[in-house]
Amino acid sequence: MTTATTERAVRHTADVPAWRPFRVTVARVQQLTPCFLRITFTGGDLDEFGHDGPDQRIKLYLPRVGQALPDGTSGDWFAQYRAMDPEVRGTLRTYTIRAVRPAQREVDVDFALHGDAGPASAWAVRARVGEEVALIGPNRLYGADCQGHEWSPPVDVRDVLIAGDETAVPAVCGILERLRGTIDPGARIQVFLEVPDVGDALQLLAPDQAEITWLSRRRPDGTVAPNGELLVDAVCAAEFGRGARAAALDASAVDTVDIDLEVLWEVAAAATSAYAWIAGEAGAVKTIRRHLVRERGIDKGAVSFMGYWRTGRAES
């Protein structure tokens, strides 16, 4: 996943960083489905790990052999990381936390595996209990919202659309759990999740009225649909926002983002009855957002959209 601005320890309250490194070890590894692998991390100071939103992002730092891990006392860790020679510095990748248990000093991260195509996925499939890495994440001692999360529906929302591919599934799991008991029972919640295969559908804790649709790219005949195709088709066919007031369309704001050069990332700010949270492959996310705004007349400020990744491009 890639964000518009990399979370870093630059915001302070009384000289306490909002984000900081946590040195951790692998405590447990659990294969949830062929695609999803849960790794539980433990660390002596994870009781200070923050969690401000159900789609809270973190950075996973994988050191090279013989390389020291960053720690919370090393000052501006990100500036130090950027100053290192890219050929020798460790790997930094963005993930969404699945659960935080401060009392047990544990953090769960669910990985969407794609073989050895990326360094984090390659590491995850070989991860062993006791292995040391670092999590760069929110600091509970900061005393305010540390940012790094986008879920922000209006309190009186009546129509919710959530759509994402496998990279967004951990965040969606957290979002649906947050909605239980907090959303009006009469509100509509539609969820579309695209995954590699039917066996990757998870049991989700969600509000009773949530309509959850899993979309398998692997077809019954064994062929595989392109990334994002099923997700786009499902959202375009869904009943969402039909009763919302059509916004004045600004085509330039919707269509001019070059996803090869820019990061596709925006957080909803409008107080409307309809709210959409879209995350996954940037091309699919852009297409869905364009459809909702231009074809449905949804206020563009009512759509949180995040290009977690881009086909053919690695996170830098």
Bin 134: left if φ > 0, else alpha if -120 < ψ < 50, else beta: beta
What pLDDT, on a 0 to 100 scale, did the predictor assign at position 100?
96
Q: Where in the chain is the domain with CATH 3.40.50.80?
A: 159-309
What pLDDT, on a 0 to 100 scale, did the predictor assign at position 249?
45
pTM value is 0.86
What is the spatial order of strands in the sheet that 210-216 belongs to? 210-216, 188-195, 159-165, 274-281, 303-309, 265-266
Q: Where in the chain is the domain with CATH 2.40.30.10?
A: 19-138
Q: What fold is seen in the domain 19-138?
A: Elongation Factor Tu (Ef-tu); domain 3 (2.40.30)
Tens digit of each residue's pLDDT, the chain (316 residues): 444 334 433 444 457 888 999 999 999 999 999 999 999 999 999 999 998 899 999 999 998 876 777 766 656 777 777 787 887 788 899 999 999 999 999 999 999 998 777 889 999 999 999 999 999 999 999 889 999 999 999 888 999 999 999 999 999 999 999 999 899 999 999 999 999 999 999 999 999 999 999 999 999 999 999 999 999 999 999 988 765 544 444 444 445 555 444 445 566 666 678 999 999 999 999 999 999 999 888 888 899 999 998 876 655 4
Q: What gap in Å lies between CA 13 and CA 150, rounded to an integer?
A: 22
Residue pair 97/58 in contact (Cβ under 8 Å)? The answer is: yes
What pLDDT, on a 0 to 100 scale, did the predictor assign at position 23?
94
159-309: CATH class? alpha beta
Q: Which residues pair with 168 in a beta bridge?
A: none
Planar angle of CA 192, 203, 126, nearest 5 degrees = 95
Structure tokens at 9: 């320890």
Exposure on the CB side of residue 156, measured as CA atoms within 13 A: 4
Residue pair 167/285 in contact (Cβ under 8 Å)? The answer is: no
